[in-house]
Amino acid sequence: MFGFEFSHILVLAAIALIVLGPKQMPQLAKVLGRTIGELRKAMRDMTSQISVDLEDQSKSNVKTENKKDKV
């Protein structure tokens, strides 16, 4: 997960607990989870759009090559 080992995540969680306190940790986790979900969705959408664009470009290249062959 992003090049972090589990021990690094535990250290970051402990620091966050000390800095933010136990009352704000659930709220932080909720916001962080939502943000990660939105980023994943954006990446999925972007990957899908790139795939569609590449397919369209590939099809148009094939059509162009076919037209050149006929001429």
Please determine, for residue 12, whether its predicted confidence score (pLDDT) is greater than 60. yes
Please determine, for residue 63, whether its predicted confidence score (pLDDT) is greater than 70. no
Window from 4-8, 42-46, 56-60, 64-68 with minimum mean pLDDT? 64-68
**What is the C-alpha to C-alpha distance for residues 58 and 45, in angstroms, rounded to an integer?**
20
- Domain residues of the chain, as ranges? 22-70
Q: pLDDT tens digits for 14-24?
A: 898 899 888 99
Cα 51 to chain centroid, rounded: 15
Q: pLDDT tens digits for 15-61?
A: 988 998 889 988 988 998 999 999 999 999 999 999 999 988 888 87
